[in-house]
Each structure stands twice: as C-alpha cells, then as structure tokens.
Amino acid sequence: MELLIEKFLLYLRARFNFSKNTIKAYNFDLREFRDFCAVNKVEKIEKADKFLIRAFMAHLSEKKLKRNSLIRKVSAVRSFFKYLLENDILKNNPFELVNVPKKEKRLPRFLTEEEIAKLTEDNEPLEVLSKNIGYKFAFRDFALLELIYSSGLRRSEASWLNIGDLDFFSGFVRVLGKGSKERTVPVGEHALAALKKYLETRKEKSAASPLFLNHRGARLSDAAVALILKRMAKRARFAREINPHALRHSFATHLLNNGCDLRALQEMLGHKNLSTTQIYTHVSIDRLKEVYQKTHPRAGNK
C-alpha cells in the first residue's frame, strides 16, 4: 500500500499540479488510512471492502473531528480508490455502497467596511511607531494588511510575492495561486501607497527579492502573515480574532456589495469554479434587497 500511495501522490502532482500543502494533506490522510488498515489486519488493498470504509469513517467520527475535516479525509481515500480503479489495480470500488457525508456550507466570516477602516487607522505606521518604540516593521505590516484586503490574497500568495510581481505603473500584482496557477489582480491606490512607503525602508529592492521580509531578512512565512494580522487586530482592540482569510472574505463581500460582477470576482479570487465564489452572494443579500427596492417598478418603495 505504501508504494501505491507514493504513486498516487506523484500522479496528483503531475496531473493536477496540486500545491505542496494539498499534497501534504493527502499524504497525511492516506497514511492514517494505511495505519487503520494495518490495525485491522488488512495488509493488501484488494481486501478493502465497504465494511472497512464504514469502520474507518466511524473511527474518524470517534476522534471528534470537525465535519469538514472528516469529509476531507474520506475524500482523500475515495480519490485514492478511484485512481486504483482507473489503473486496473482494483476491480471493485468499496465506496460504491457507502454514503459519504456532504460538506457543510458555512458562510464566510468577514469584516464590515467600518471595521476595515478601524483596523487600518489603528495600524497606520506613524501611529504604531509613536506608541511602540523600537518596532521596525510597522511599514511592512501595514503594507501587508492593505495589500491582502485590496487584492483578496491568500496568506501563502502574499508570502510568495516578489518585488517584481508588483506593477506600480498599471496598478496590478501577479499572483501564484493554488495549483501554481498564475493570475493578475488589481491593487488599490491605498495599498500601492503603503507598499511604496514600505519599500523605501528596504535596502534590497531587486525584482527577484521577496516582497515581505522577516527579521532575519528572509521571506516572510505564511504562518508569520497570520501572526502579524492577529497582532494588528489586537492593536485595534478587536474582540474577535482576525486572520488573512477574513480579509480575503471581506474583499469579496465588499466588492459584491458595491456591484462587482460575480465572474470578475471569480477571476480576482482565483477560484476554479463559479460555485465557490457564489457563497459570497449569501452575505450580500441586504445589498440585493436594496437594489430590488430601488429598481423594481412594483417593489412598493417608490
């Protein structure tokens, strides 16, 4: 089974160009299934049947996992069996008569436009430097905050940007997204201004140099991006925790609220399927009601 898992992971890299994080997750989940098979004395993959799959799902349920985490693990194993069937390694699919729980659709958490204003005002570099003597990264942190909100970037996408990915003249940033897919996203004037001020504090400004650096002068990790935003939310006295994805959700929600086309938003977010982008329409329902009241001839609000 170990060799088959390795072949499957290589297949995913070659065929779908999955990111390192996705491959890592598949690797972890499949090895968990392999260990479960070993405990249940199923040494050959051909011996796996629907009863083993149901037992594995019950095993995952006992671990008190979140619903979507459980589904992700089962989905990884199901994809593995699909690969084995397509390559004639197996003749029967043990998932055929197994009901797999559906993914829970959760509305994304986002900040209001007023909350974004407070977050930026309380983290303005001169404001921070006046209160935190010796803190050297106020301009970097502020530029990071502005860029993620301005362009709806994932934390990994922000982390992997180089200076040369920014086009200050046209107002765009070149982003390497999931599956190593490249896209170009607009950058607002506030973010561009913050980035210029940040780069003025930098000695190394070559196009190939990482855009955001840590205290050692190396590329800022995506984990550090999350930590910085958490610190900024605390500085703005937010009661709830703020993460990079909340800013990305805010970017999408605010664009839709102000009339952005769903297809255009899909392109900017780098979503493969429009259905992924459509979740943001749920949080924009108040905006839709407002438009309806203003435009429908018999809405009763004329």
| pLDDT per residue as tens digits for the range 35-48 | 999 999 888 888 88
Average pLDDT over residues 157-162: 95
pLDDT of residue 148: 96
- Residues 142, 255 within the same domain: yes
pLDDT of residue 123: 94
- Tell me, yes or no, whether 198 lies in a domain: yes
- Whether 180 has a pLDDT exceeding 70, the answer reads yes
- The catalytic residue among 73, 248, 249, 254 is 248
Range of the domain at 48: 2-86
- Tell me, yes or no, whether 154 lies in a domain: yes
Confidence of residue 300 (pLDDT cuts 50, 70, 90): low
- Whether 287 has a pLDDT exceeding 70, the answer reads no
pLDDT of residue 230: 94
CATH of residue 278's domain is 1.10.443.10
- Residues 46, 187 within the same domain: no
- Residues 202, 241 within the same domain: yes
H-helix segments, the chain:
2-16, 20-39, 50-62, 67-86, 113-121, 125-131, 138-151, 155-159, 189-200, 222-235, 244-257, 262-269, 274-277, 285-295
- Tell me, yes or no, whether 96 lies in a domain: no
- Whether 103 has a pLDDT exceeding 70, the answer reads no
- Whether 165 has a pLDDT exceeding 90, the answer reads yes
- The catalytic residue among 13, 178, 190, 287 is 178
- Residues 228, 274 within the same domain: yes
In whole angstroms, what is the distance from residue 294 CA to residue 19 CA? 45
- Tell me, yes or no, whether 233 lies in a domain: yes
Provide the token pair at 220: 């800022």
- Residues 132, 60 within the same domain: no
Average pLDDT over residues 229-254: 91
- The catalytic residue among 13, 50, 59, 271 is 271
- Residues 209, 153 within the same domain: yes
Q: Is 254 a catalytic site residue?
A: no
- Whether 217 has a pLDDT exceeding 60, the answer reads yes
Confidence of residue 211 (pLDDT cuts 50, 70, 90): very high
- Whether 235 has a pLDDT exceeding 60, the answer reads yes
- Residues 11, 143 within the same domain: no
- Residues 287, 187 within the same domain: yes
Q: Is 248 a catalytic site residue?
A: yes
Number of structural domains found in the chain = 2
In whole angstroms, what is the distance from residue 48 CA to residue 45 CA? 5
- Residues 210, 264 within the same domain: yes
pLDDT of residue 79: 93
Q: Is 280 a catalytic site residue?
A: yes
- Residues 134, 80 within the same domain: no
| pLDDT per residue as tens digits for the range 35-83 | 999 999 888 888 888 899 999 999 988 888 888 888 899 999 999 999 9
CATH of residue 65's domain is 1.10.150.130
What DSSP assignment string belongs to 47-114? Answer: G--HHHHHHHHHHHHHTT--HHHHHHHHHHHHHHHHHHHHTTS-SS-TTTT-PPPPPP--PPP---HH
| pLDDT per residue as tens digits for the range 115-132 | 999 999 999 998 888 887
In which region does residue 63 sit, left (phi positive, over 0), alpha (psi from -120 to 50) or beta (all else)? alpha
- Residues 256, 128 within the same domain: yes
- Whether 184 has a pLDDT exceeding 70, the answer reads yes
Confidence of residue 299 (pLDDT cuts 50, 70, 90): low
Largest CA distance in the chain: 72
- Tell me, yes or no, whether 105 lies in a domain: no
pTM of the entire structure?
0.69
Q: Is 178 a catalytic site residue?
A: yes
In whole angstroms, what is the distance from residue 225 CA to residue 247 CA? 12
- Residues 139, 244 within the same domain: yes
Of 70, 86, 102, the residue at which a domain comes to its end is 86
CA 131 vs CA 111, 121, 141, 169: distances in Å:
25, 14, 15, 34
- The catalytic residue among 73, 154, 249, 254 is 154
pLDDT of residue 285: 61
pLDDT of residue 301: 57
pLDDT of residue 134: 77
